[in-house]
Amino acid sequence: MQIPPDCEDILEGLNEEQRRAVTHERGPLLILAGAGSGKTRAITRRIAWLVRARAVWPSRILAVTFTNKAAAEMRERVETLLGGADAPKWMGTFHSIGLRLLRMNADRIGYPNSFVIYDDDDTESALRRVLKDLGLPKDGLRAYSHYIDACKNDGMLEPPEPRTPRERQLADVFRAYQAELKSAGAMDFGDLLARSLRMLQEHADIRERLQSQYEYILVDEFQDTNAAQYELLKILAATHRNLCVVGDDDQSIYSWRGARVDNILEFPKEYPEAAVVTLGRNYRSRLPILSAAARVIGFNRKRHPKDLAAMRGEGEPVRVHGALNEVGEAQFVVREVVRRHAEGTPLSRMAVFYRTNAQSRVFEDALRARRISYKVVGGMRFYQRKEVKDVISWLRLLVNPLDRLGPERALSSPPRGIGATTLDKARARADQDQVELLQALAVVGDEGGPALQRKVRTLIELITDLALFAREARAGDAVQAVLDRTGYMAHLAADDSAEGQSRVENVMELLASVREFEQQSGQTDLRSWLDRVSLVQPLDDDASGDAISLMTVHAAKGLEFDYVCVCGLEDGLFPLSSQRGRGHGFDAGLDRSAMEEERRLMYVAMTRAREALYLTYASTRVRYGQLEAGRPSIFLAELPREDVKVV
């Protein structure tokens, strides 16, 4: 191939496979980019190659990815190669591109050009109004939101035909919610995709103009596309068919938010003339890490086969450690962190991964005990999570009736029909009469109508009964009583979404921490445990500097660290089963599709490590408030023995 003289810098430093991807002429192109293989370099160099070597007008190139951060990185790299004036202007996230298309054609879809975009809080407020108008309890808000998102991820602006009473209810909420948005001149994030797709399907002139305009379309992280996004791409690419998609089916881990791994798996069937280029050189991980990860992911049936070569050579074996329980697991991890840090590795180059948010608690406790700085990536510290603070506020109220913050949370966790106005009056009365807030609340309740009087008396009786019980009971029993008698656990359990399930797990982990405190300290009173918690609540360590990262495996995608610990590798936890009390692993209800996604998640976790990888599990673990016996994850049995060392 003759390389134009002014294009040599675009191909500089590329390996053979990357060059093939960058210089592909015309037609569909699938770039299978294995972990650490330089996919961002390939897609950005290809954009620069099209503009400079093939003289494609920048306005005829559309490049999309998923996050604002990834889009900014793509734009910055392309502008560095081409200069700002020659860089394509149509580069951004799917949602930002959809928004631009809708703004340009708002009048054609019955919206004002000034339509607003609802964020998550706005969406929740709109749904609350809808549920109130329909006379439905707002406890199920998350389930309705999840249903609406799922429909829009599939490109639907109306619900499918309902078959059951529950589906009819979901459909009614969906229709009312869409009407609420339309009357407000608003769209949510799902609309930006679904309405863009509908606009192209229904307006031939807009569709044909855009099909003619976008001569080349490039998509990063293609394995994360949902049905609506892929359909949108296929329509836009229908005229020129120069659709370049970059991704790794082995890293498709977002089915729970609509991603379809079949999009990348079936791309060669959708485009039989497509060229397929595999980027098989890994520039991140040492050979034992890569070999172990490749062996595990190889057990998946639905995947594009690919062999990755470790360009950084040999290294330490993958270390596997089995602990007696989750506390011992955390202590082992922290000991290794201390050792690596003493050898000169900055904390910022180390990370701990886990499958569920609730698992962070034991690692946070162990790191704090050694005064090691840490940060929780993609989430709050355990004791700062809303559901944890709700329960702690209840408990503080029981041991300290003078607490001014506890009653406010008690009124709303769960809601009890006592509004902020009533509470403000009670605060004013407490200041005026120099009495406790609860005493003032009782007076304000008596001065109100019968309904308010009944609600306030019921609340104060509940607090009084629980306070008397907590004075004599063990701390763990007091916490359990609060969860049961306040209805807070039932309130959380009513939300059957993944987020709702996570909140339940966090509260049960809080209960486990109380039981653990009783055993380790020998103290059983609630006040002693609250004193201990109050000492760990302030963020007194500087996590903005050198700090180890704690995160779920989902949050780890796209990151890399020198030393990685993947923890909680027990069947039922990783791979995760949503079913309780039915054993563990594949037999506990994970179908093959779910199991393969869990294995892809394991592959993502393992391939974040550059120098060394630790895999840990516990023989027993407290989950959902109960001590469970665990057995090592099936993923550990799939590891190649020659690359593993048991420690």
Q: Which residues are catalytic?
A: 39-40, 220-221, 251, 608
Dmax over CA atoms of the chain, in Å, equals: 90
Give the integer Cα–Cα distance in Å for 511 and 479: 7
Question: 617-641 burial, b for 16+ CB within 10 Å, e for fewer?
Answer: bbbebbbebeebebebbbbbeebee
Residue 536 to residues 361, 405, 417: CA-CA distances in angstroms? 11, 19, 33
Instruction: Name residues whose C-beta falls within 8 Å of residue 286's C-beta, 6 or more positions apart in sequence.
Output: 310, 312, 313, 314, 315, 316, 610, 611, 612
Tell me which amino acid residue 628 is.
E
Give the integer Cα–Cα distance in Å for 494 and 500: 8
What DSSP line would sit under 20-71, residue for residue? Answer: HHHH--SS-EEEEE-TTS-HHHHHHHHHHHHHHTS---GGGEEEEESSHHHH
Give the integer Cα–Cα distance in Å for 324 and 327: 8
Give the integer Cα–Cα distance in Å for 232 and 195: 10
Rg for the chain, CA atoms, rounded: 28
211: exposed, middle or buried (Cβ count in 10 Å: 0-12, 13-18, 19+): middle
Give the integer Cα–Cα distance in Å for 481 and 474: 11
Give the integer Cα–Cα distance in Å for 490 and 127: 21
User: What's the angle, vertex CA 314, arms to CA 311 and CA 319, rounded to 5?
Assistant: 120
Instruction: Name residues whose C-beta falls within 8 Å of residue 479's C-beta, 6 or more positions apart in sequence.
Output: 391, 395, 510, 511, 514, 526
